[in-house]
Amino acid sequence: MTDHSEQPVALVTGGGSGVGASCAKHLAKSGYRIGVVGRNPDRLDETLGSIEADCHSIIADLSAPHQCDRIIAETIEAFGRVDVLVNNAGFAAQMAIEDTTEELMRTALDTNLLGPMCLIRSLWGHFLQRGDGCIVNISSLASSDPFPGFLAYAASKSGLDSLTRSILAERPNDSIRAFTINLAAVETAMLRSMFDHEVVPPEACLHPDEVADFVVQCVRGDHDDRQGESIVLARS
């Protein structure tokens, strides 16, 4: 049953852990009802269990972009509206250029770029009808300063940066807002699956809560003058 409450709704992809889970928690504390998308139902349940707000989880894989229409429809069915989309779900694998397979390229492009594009397309009519909305695309510093071995990841994140600029070029008015955040290293399980503490020391990493704080600031309007910019967030 659709909940017609006027309380705003934020939809966060990759919400089962790391940056996505932190974004969901921080947005909930800021007064949002939360939809979280992820592949692992147990991790999604952990996120929902840590949020004191109206929540809804959607099991989906952004590397299968045909699921995006369902994600948006199910969120609107659950809450009656979507005000914020945080495109956080991501895929990264370190591999030399000559060893990078077509399958890996497709997975990176589908998860990191095509999935967000399809979600935005599915949500766009709702934003136009409502007259406002906010999209935060979680990109990477790799789009401008790639680490060796991340051909597919860096290329797909570069496309995400461009996607934000396209949103701003096509929006009918400035009530629809869009941001790109280029993250440096963040202390997450995905990072540690590829780099040990000697290569990327913990003190050089952002904490997921720091990223979530900045996402909330963007949603709140604190950085509206930086829309279209690839905003770098790194440990100072």
Active-site residue list: 153
What distance in Å separates the CA atoms of residue 67 and residue 63, rounded to the nearest whole number?
9
What distance in Å separates the CA atoms of residue 43 and residue 77, rounded to the nearest whole number?
23
Locate the DSSP E strands across 88-132.
none
What distance in Å separates the CA atoms of residue 105 and residue 93, rounded to the nearest whole number?
10
Residue 123, by phi and psi: left (phi above 0), alpha (psi -120 to 50) or beta? alpha
Q: Are 178 and 227 in contact (CB under 8 A)?
A: yes
Q: How far is CA 16 from the centre of its chain?
A: 12
Q: Are 33 and 53 in contact (CB under 8 A)?
A: yes
Residue type, 17: S
Q: Which residue has the tokens 């591999």?
A: 95
Backbone angles phi, psi at 178, to 5 degrees: -150, 140
